[in-house]
Amino acid sequence: MYAAFAIGQLWDAGVLLDADNAGHQAREKIKDMNLKDYAAQTGHEFRVLMLDKAAGVKKTDVAIEDLFPDEWFLECVNRAYGLALRLEDLPEDGSTLIAKRVEIAMKQRQGRDLKKKEVLVEMLKEFDGWTTVDDLPAGTAANAENLFKKVNAAFGVES
């Protein structure tokens, strides 16, 4: 696991985990490794940051794509797959992860799987057109600012 490797290399390191079941399981595995004692002995700390708290995103489950507005992510999905999904087409029960909700809707309506790489291509096309912070989708800059402040603070860097 990355945590043990980073500590073994005497790196001052950390990990940013999605706030979903897999992320919480990974956090527990890291906690079970008792890295705090080892870090105290070596002077090298390993930090675990959960994306929801670090970015201040107010959802039950949070992955990196949830830093963007749901509408914007859905537009990228629609361009990637030639679809016309709307937010109201996405399930409301279960996960709050936008990608998971889109995946369920695509499976039910299209019989297709969501491949995030396909969506990433569309996201990167959008990124290429952004020149100022004002070009970002609403709320994205605030989420990113919160995230970077938390990461910097975890490493003792003032922002």
* pLDDT tens digits along 108-122: 999 999 999 999 999
Which domain, by its residues, includes 44?
Answer: 2-57+148-154
Task: For residue 116, give both structure tokens.
Answer: 């995030």
pLDDT, tens digit (0-9, with 9 covering 90-100), for 91-101: 987 889 999 99
Number of domains in the chain: 2
120: Cβ contacts below 8 Å, ≥ 6 apart: none
Query: Does the residue 143 lie in any domain?
Result: no
65 domain-assigned: no
Two structure tokens written together for 56: 């201040």
Is this structure's pTM higher than 0.75?
Answer: yes
Q: Are residues 78 and 130 in the same domain?
A: yes
In a domain, 142, yes or no: no
8 domain-assigned: yes
Asked if residue 79 and residue 53 are part of one domain, the reply reads no
In this prediction, residue 77 carries a pLDDT of: 98
Quote the pLDDT of residue 1. Answer: 65
* Residue-wise pLDDT tens digits, 42-79: 888 889 999 999 999 999 999 999 999 999 999 999 99
Q: Is residue 141 part of a domain?
A: no
Same domain, 42 and 79: no
- What pLDDT does residue 135 have? 97
> What's residue 78's pLDDT?
98
Q: How far is CA 133 from CA 12, 57, 72, 75, in A?
A: 30, 19, 16, 20
User: Is 102 contained in some domain?
Assistant: yes
